Amino acid sequence: MTNYKEVFEETFDYTNLKLSLENIQAIIGSNSDFISKSIFIGNNRNIEASIIYMDGLVNLQLISDFVVKPLMQAEEFKACDSETDVINIIEQGTVYYSNNKKRTAINDTLNDILTGSVAVLLNKQQLAFTFETKGFEKRAISEPKVENVIKGAKDSFVETIRVNTATCRLKIKSPNLVIEETKVGRQTQTTIAICYMKNIVNEKLLKEVKARLNNLEVESLITSGFLEEFIVDNKFSTFPQIQYTERPDKFCKNLIDGRIGLIIDGMPVSYIIPCTILQFLQAPEDYSLNYIVSSAIRYMRFTSMFITLLLPAFFVSIINFHQEMIPTELTFSIIAAKEGVPFPMFVEVILMLAAFELLVEAGLRLPQTIGQTVSIVGALVVGQSAVQAKLLSPVTVIVIAITAITGFVMPNQDFSNALRIWRFLFVILSCIVGIYGLTSGLILLLYSWCKMDSFGVPYLSPFVGGEEEQLKDTLFRFPLFTMKYRPSSLRVKNKRIMK
């Protein structure tokens, strides 16, 4: 299925070594969390075994009660004369532990030890039994931090992959839900779970996703960039091409729609493939509210996208080039507000945009306890004082404030960030050639959107490609009972959702 073995072997090339305590100690024995100790099985001094584990990854109670105690005290083991007897008895299940494996290769043994198992090594036989005794500290499932909803589930993904896959299983209790695992990262050996519905998913898409994951030539997969930037199609685009979510319900909904989900060990977010621009404008709440209400909100969100993208540029172009487009009375107000401000309008706009970006960035970096300082400095210094000192006109402040607020309406931060970059480009084009510059910028943006695709699905889908059915969930959200088909751009096996 995967070629991770090649990667694995390249990294840990110990296949020629025999499985022995000495060799294991030589490889990982210098670590402070490496624990190995000898026991005599059934108190028989002739049968010596080593208990090996990494401290912190295992539950010591489990090891003592269910592994060491039976090995030392069980009557069956006391009767053993040789190590071969011990092996037989363990294989028969006397050490009653549900998840144990018999290992003869040093690679497998090391891998088990490093993922939280305890190994019972019979040195002379060059054989080990590993028992999964994972017991490291994990975070409890908490409320989503970013994608909050009022009506809806309050759970979110955590850093532990097994907890996350279990959460999905609880939501989709279907035998068709497939969770396959693969390992990525030469050093980190991070587990990625590929989740899909086998009765729905497009096989070609699945094959492509697996191929891309297998071809990932990365050292580590500790931050999401290593995955996103390596598997997306358009590597030079500012727009996100893979969607993340911290909500299991949203994740599962997408699996059922025919998309493929990736859960990465150590990350409290999951990824959804493929993704289109529409998904960045849909929020989980949309489907729990009344469809008329959520249609209004959705429409507002689309409008907000254009406002946050275009408002500063449009403002600069009409103020500097097309003053006749402003309503007369408003012109007088703007002139009065601009009176005495030394900077040209576009400089004001760019200064304010830069100040706003700095405030956002500072707000992210500051510890929560002193985080309020930013808002006070932002509101008083940038807002009030700059206007009173005649460094900025109040109109600019209002325009940038509207831009900022509408930017925060975007449900996806990556998408919002991309809009922020393009916004700057538009302002610069507008201050050079007015509306013509703005239009040119828009054409460039539209062109880049049209060019993009995500795993073969057009980025602008369903606005391109004649997917009338999917248009029901775009600018307005139609009632759920009218949405009878899955997105046709996904080419799924089972297109119909309901009769």
Partner 1 sequence: MKKFLVLIMILAFLFNFTGCTQLILSSTEIDKIFNTRIVGIDKLENGKIRMTITTKDTKPSENGSGVSEKSEILVSEGETVFEAVRTLFESSSKRPLYGHTEFVIIGEATAKDGILPFLDFVTRDNEFRYNAKIYIVKGDSAFNLIDKLSDEETYLADKLSALEHNSGKLSISSQEALAEAMYIFDKPNISTYLPYIEIITDLPSVDTRVKSNGNTISLNGYGIFKADKLQYFLSSQRSRGINWIRNKIQSGFIIVKGPDGKNISMEIISAKTSIKPSIKKGVLKCSVKVNFTTNVTETMSRKKIFYDAEVIKLQQQQEEQIKKEIEDIISYAQEKNLDIFGILSNFIMAYPPMKNELRQNWGKLFPEVQFSVKVDSKINRTYFLRESTGIR
**What are the beta bridge partners of residue 458?**
453
Rank residues 321 and 415 by Cβ distance to partner 1 and give the closer one: 321
CB 460 to partner 1: min, Å: 16
Distance between CA atoms of residues 21 and 465, nearest Å? 62
CB 383 to partner 1: min, Å: 15
Is residue 319 at the binding interface for partner 1, with CB under 8 A as the rule? yes
CB 401 to partner 1: min, Å: 19
Going across the sheet that includes 48-54, the strands are 34-40, 48-54, 117-122, 127-132, 100-103
Find the angle CA(385)-CA(313)-CA(316) to the nearest 5 degrees: 60
Q: Which stretch binds partner 1 (CB under 8 A): 191-199, 221-229, 278-286, 336-344?
A: 336-344
Distance between CA atoms of residues 209 and 204, nearest Å? 9
Q: Where are the alpha helices (DSSP H) in 160-281?
A: 161-171, 203-214, 225-231, 248-257
Q: Which stretch binds partner 1 (CB under 8 A): 108-116, 154-162, 222-230, 341-349?
A: 341-349
Secondary structure (3-state) at 480? helix
Is residue 444 at the binding interface for partner 1, with CB under 8 A as the rule? yes
Pick from 352, 326, 147: nearest CA to 250: 147
Is residue 389 at the binding interface for partner 1, with CB under 8 A as the rule? no
Is residue 385 at the binding interface for partner 1, with CB under 8 A as the rule? no
Residues 352-381 that bind partner 1 (CB under 8 A): none
CB 473 to partner 1: min, Å: 30
CA distances from 382 to 79, 347, 358, 389, 402 (A): 83, 15, 11, 10, 15
Rank residues 250 and 338 by Cβ distance to partner 1 and give the closer one: 338
Is residue 438 at the binding interface for partner 1, with CB under 8 A as the rule? no
Rank residues 343 and 485 by Cβ distance to partner 1 and give the closer one: 343
Is residue 450 at the binding interface for partner 1, with CB under 8 A as the rule? no
Distance between CA atoms of residues 284 and 411, nearest Å? 9
What single DSSP character describes residue 311?
A: H
What residue has token string 């100690």? 25
Amino acid in position 321: F
Which secondary structure element, helix H or strand E, spans residue 4, and what is its range? helix 4-11
Residues 236-255 that bind partner 1 (CB under 8 A): 236
Rank residues 21 and 334 by Cβ distance to partner 1 and give the closer one: 334
Question: Are residues 309 and 420 in contact, defined by beta-carbon separation less than 8 angstroms?
Answer: no
Is residue 335 at the binding interface for partner 1, with CB under 8 A as the rule? yes
Distance between CA atoms of residues 218 and 213, nearest Å? 10
CB 320 to partner 1: min, Å: 4
Of the residues 323, 372, 373, 375, which one makes contact with partner 1 according to CB under 8 A: 323
Rank residues 332 and 408 by Cβ distance to partner 1 and give the closer one: 332
Name the residues that contact partner 1, by CB under 8 A.
236, 319-321, 323-325, 328, 331-341, 344-345, 388, 431-434, 436, 440, 443-444, 447-448, 451
